[in-house]
A and B are shown apart, each in its own frame.
Chain A
Amino acid sequence: MIRARGLEKRYGDKRVLKALDIELPRGGFLLVTGPNGSGKTTLLRVCAGLALPSAGEVEISAPRAQIGFLGHEPLVYRELTALENLDLYGRLYHVPERRERIGMLLERFGLWAARNDRASSFSRGMLQRLALCRALLHEPELLVLDEPYSALDEQGAELLDRELAELRPQRTFLVSTHDAKRLDPLASSRLALAA
């Protein structure tokens, strides 16, 4: 699904990723670990198609419509409600039966009660959950998640556990984390980045 050879990423003069080779087959789960500043976020952005490599090559077999991305920012519009945000993305991704799917996701992540509240009123944990809804909305084949557990409280983390366990057999995952122990059982391959 994702293949990279000699992947390098430079921002200005600073080399963030050096000569990486990655192989993520369909149905796999690649767990990326590493200290802060080791380039996890950059790697995930490149693999999601948000950034181009400075050198080397990356091959992502999934089209944009099949990629679900969760980054450091929730990527929601603060002035719009949860429902409006998801409706926007639902339209952009041409999600069939949009309203039902949105309702279902909001409920699964415990946000149904807050569906008509503006995202600006959400706590960090709620924003993260909303971001997860956004990432999963279009049922993508490839899920690229950058530290998905950050900002989630106990309840949110459990919801995510459940979701990942359910989706694990059907999708391909590229996940970065600080909490390797939690996700290790799911992983089919691991990559540790050095600073």
Chain B
Amino acid sequence: MRSYAEDVLTLARKDLMLELRARDTLPAMLLFVIAALVVFHFALPADASKLAAKGLLWVAIVFTALVGLTRAFVAEREQRTIDGLLLAPCDRSAIWLAKGVAVLAFLVLAEVVALPAFALFFSGVNGATIAGVALADLGIAGVGTLLAAMASLSRARELLLPLLFLPLAIPVIVGGVGASVVDSPGRYLGFLALYDVVFAIISWASFEYVVTE
């Protein structure tokens, strides 16, 4: 149990270190989310409600997550370092968890910029929205990491990941938008939590089958 946690920390540290050196994924995500918000301003006609903008915040988050997820397994893929991880005695699911933690970290950092920007460009962000974002991030990181691993095995990886991810992201968007918009967000936050738990469990359990032959 303790060595499992150690392995996860070791691997997550590795991913964060790599990003610190390469410095490509996080800046791209930051730039993308701001650009997306600006695009949304121009995409909303005059009588569009404030609520429509709130919905678009979630679109921005999901697509920014995709930008980050597309890069998630690139090193493992191109340099075949996934073999190095598979040879090691660590549990396969630890690879998923560690990578998920790293993806989550990038996503949260991007949102630290995105949410204030959204408040600046459109309208304020309330507590329920933030709670929704937090819960949604967990679900996105969990499922997204597994799907990114799948996509990295295909020939058309950048094309495939959005196709795999978006249908699974629909419940997250529903939960998130609902939480942001409705008066009593409890149900939606609860739904997001359910999504997180269910998909985390099956992602955790099935990651081994995705990476090994």
Contacts and interface: CB of A to CB of B under 8 A. Distances in A.
A–B direct touch, CB within 8 Å, in complex? yes
Given A77-B79, A79-B21, 19 more contacts: A48-B87, A50-B87, A64-B87, A65-B89, A71-B80, A73-B80, A75-B79, A75-B80, A77-B18, A79-B75, A84-B17, A89-B88, A91-B6, A91-B7, A92-B11, A92-B89, A93-B88, A94-B6, A118-B21
B18 to A, nearest CB: 5
Given A64-B87, A73-B79, A73-B80, A50 B21 contact: no
A80 B17 contact: yes
A67 interface: yes
A49 interface: yes
Contact of B87 (A67, A88, A94): A67
A34 B198 CA distance: 49
A80 B18 contact: yes
Interface string A2-22: 000000000000000000000
Interface of B: 3, 6-7, 10-11, 14, 17-18, 21-22, 75, 79-81, 83-90, 212-213
Contact of B88 (A51, A76, A92): A92
B60 to A, nearest CB: 29
Contacts of B213: 50-52
Contacts of A50: 83, 86-87, 213
Interface string A50-78: 11100000000001110101010101111
Given A52-B213, A80-B18, A91-B10, A73 B83 contact: yes
